[in-house]
Copies of this chain bind each other. A is one copy, B any other.
Amino acid sequence: MRTSSIRAIRRVELSRAAFEAVIRYGLRKTTLEKVGDIAGVSKGVVLHHFKDKSALLEAVFRRSNTLLSGSVVELYRYAETPYERLWAIIVANFFETIFNRQVCQAWVSLISEVPHNTECQRVQIANNERIRSNLMHELKHFLPEQEAEQVARHLGVHIDGIWVRAGLLPHPVETNMAISEMQFAIEKMLPFDEISAAKHKEARKKIEAVADIALGSKAFKEKFLQI
């Protein structure tokens, strides 16, 4: 059916517009009319496709999380060892396309919706759990189960922390800076000898190179910016 496809397209257009509105005006000053203006339609259309403002924000929230998890999945495809997969998770979470001042600011604005919106809560928890489980899967190769769990939780929380900081600080946080802070934690928390240090270094380098091609490609960006 094309009807449902049109509906799907409109919903995507509108949540993109809402995302843009949150970036431009902040959550509190984002109105349905401004969202409509950005999307080039009237306010009524927005409410035709989304039950209410909360439902729209839910969609925006889900959209930005899909962006993130999509990047991880994409980079994962090129990672061949536990070292590389670990770095794929880190690098994907801080790649410029999604980790930049605007997106982080929007994310910081949007999470304020979580405490009083169970659907956003669900999305957020699923997202945390996914990253934790991804990390856990790789860390088991380097650490005993119990310690791997602690490190996985630590790294997951720390990713959130860096994102919040990036959204709150007035100056942009460099991708390289963020990844290096994660590396600092990994070096302290994983067993490090000359061999593993070299493997980590190599893995980070390879994954960063792959990311520029895989996540930076026009094809991937378009796939993402449209869906």
Q: In angstroms, how far is the closest chain B Cβ from the Cβ of A130? A: 14
A172 within 8 A of B: no
Partner of A109, one of B112, B169, B170: B112
B111 touches A112 (CB 8 A): yes
B25 touches A116 (CB 8 A): yes
Partner of A168, one of B115, B169, B184: B115
- Type the 1/0 row for A4-44, where 1 means its CB is closer than 8 Å to any CB of B: 00000000000000000000011111000000000000000
B-facing residues in A173-227 (Cβ within 8 Å): 181, 184-185, 188-189
A112 touches B108 (CB 8 A): yes
A114 within 8 A of B: yes
Q: How many residues of A contact B (CB 8 A)?
A: 39
A124 within 8 A of B: yes
> Do A157 and B170 contact each other (CB < 8 Å), given the known contacts A116-B25, A164-B111?
no
Nearest residue, chain B, Cβ from A120: B168
A145 within 8 A of B: no
B115 touches A26 (CB 8 A): yes
Partner of A150, one of B27, B116, B184: B184
Nearest residue, chain B, Cβ from A112: B112
A141 within 8 A of B: no
A160 touches B164 (CB 8 A): yes
Nearest residue, chain B, Cβ from A157: B161
A140 within 8 A of B: no
Nearest residue, chain B, Cβ from A27: B112
A-B CB contact pairs (8 Å), 5 listed: A26-B112, A109-B112, A128-B168, A188-B188, A188-B189
